[in-house]
């Protein structure tokens, strides 16, 4: 089965967790898009739901499908967010931000009672880090922030190249919040919790793509069916 079919399967399996009347966070990325499209079909059949998107892209997709939307200003607590991931381990530590939406994704996840990760099983790894860790940085003083990030990474016993994420035309990629993304190619993140704490202390770092303790359920589509990881 193709990776796209697996993403779609995982996304559709997550619909079982979505109950009528819920306030729901909508993730970002290709897997989350399958979920939003499947939800759109339910909404077209009269399903009652109110959603907060994690990016302008997801907002546009949800709008096009007539999914009722709100904001965290109007609705500060959500029942559930369903989102993809770039990597996850068995403890449900995640790397997110491959699509550049990690800040809104983390804000929405923190405002949700539950986060369900949807992915094809290629995203499941023994150790996080093969996927470069995205870090969202304020453009002002970015050079100084990068030096502090290098030290923070070293202090968490990791190392690797840090690269500014660019668009295809070579201009810096700018997030929905107006920030840069630096991708940190660390190979293996030995101590995700320590690294997350170290990066959080840097003033110019807005957020990083390590999601730790935010999700207790992952729905992974494999060639032989759906695999669930649940942390009790």
List, by residue number, the catalytic residues. Answer: 105
Residues of span 6-65 touching ligand 5RP by CB under 6 A: 27-32
For the window 133-162, what string marks contact with ligand 5RP as x by the rule CB under 6 A? Answer: ------------------------------
- Asked whether the beta carbons of 74 and 57 are under 8 A apart, the reply is no
Strand stretches in the chain, DSSP E? 23-26, 50-53, 80-83, 87-88, 94-95, 115-120, 133-137, 161-164, 180-185, 205-208, 210-211, 217-222, 225-230
- Please, what is the minimum distance in Å from the beta carbon of residue 86 to ligand 5RP? 5
Residues of span 59-118 touching ligand 5RP by CB under 6 A: 83-86, 96-102, 105
Closer Cβ to ligand 5RP, 15 or 148, answer by number: 15
Structure tokens at 51: 């959603």
Closer Cβ to ligand 5RP, 122 or 155, answer by number: 122
- Please, what is the minimum distance in Å from the beta carbon of residue 13 to ligand 5RP? 14
Bridge partners (DSSP) of residue 226 are 221
- Using CB under 6 A as the binding criterion, the count of chain residues that bind ligand 5RP stands at 18
- Asked whether the beta carbons of 69 and 105 are under 8 A apart, the reply is no
Regarding 132 and contact with ligand 5RP (CB under 6 A), the answer is no
- Report the distance separating Cα 200 and Cα 9, nearest Å: 35
Q: Which residues bind ligand 5RP (CB under 6 A)?
A: 27-32, 83-86, 96-102, 105
């Amino acid at each position: 089965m193709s990776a796209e079919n697996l993403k779609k399967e995982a996304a559709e399996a997550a619909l079982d967790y979505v109950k009528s009347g819920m306030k729901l966070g909508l993730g970002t990325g290709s897997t989350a898009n399958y979920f939003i499209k499947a939800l759109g079909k339910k909404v077209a059949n009269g399903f009652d739901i109110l959603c907060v998107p994690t990016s302008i892209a997801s907002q546009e997709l949800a709008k096009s499908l007539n999914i009722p939307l709100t904001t965290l200003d109007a609705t500060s607590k959500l029942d559930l967010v369903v989102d993809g991931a770039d990597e996850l381990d068995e403890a449900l530590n995640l790397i997110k931000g491959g699509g550049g939406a990690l800040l809104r994704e983390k804000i929405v996840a923190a405002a949700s009672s539950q986060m369900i990760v949807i992915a094809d099983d290629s995203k499941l790894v023994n150790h996080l880090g093969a996927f470069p860790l995205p870090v969202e940085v304020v453009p002002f003083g970015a050079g100084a922030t990068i030096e502090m990030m290098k030290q923070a990474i070293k202090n968490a016993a990791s190392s690797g190249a840090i690269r500014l994420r660019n668009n295809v035309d070579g201009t810096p990629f700018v997030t929905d919040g107006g920030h840069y993304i630096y991708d940190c190619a660390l190979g293996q993140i030995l101590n995700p919790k320590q690294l997350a704490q170290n990066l959080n202390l840097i003033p110019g770092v807005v957020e990083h793509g390590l999601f730790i303790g935010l999700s207790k359920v992952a729905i992974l589509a494999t060639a032989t069916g759906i695999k669930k990881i649940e942390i009790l």
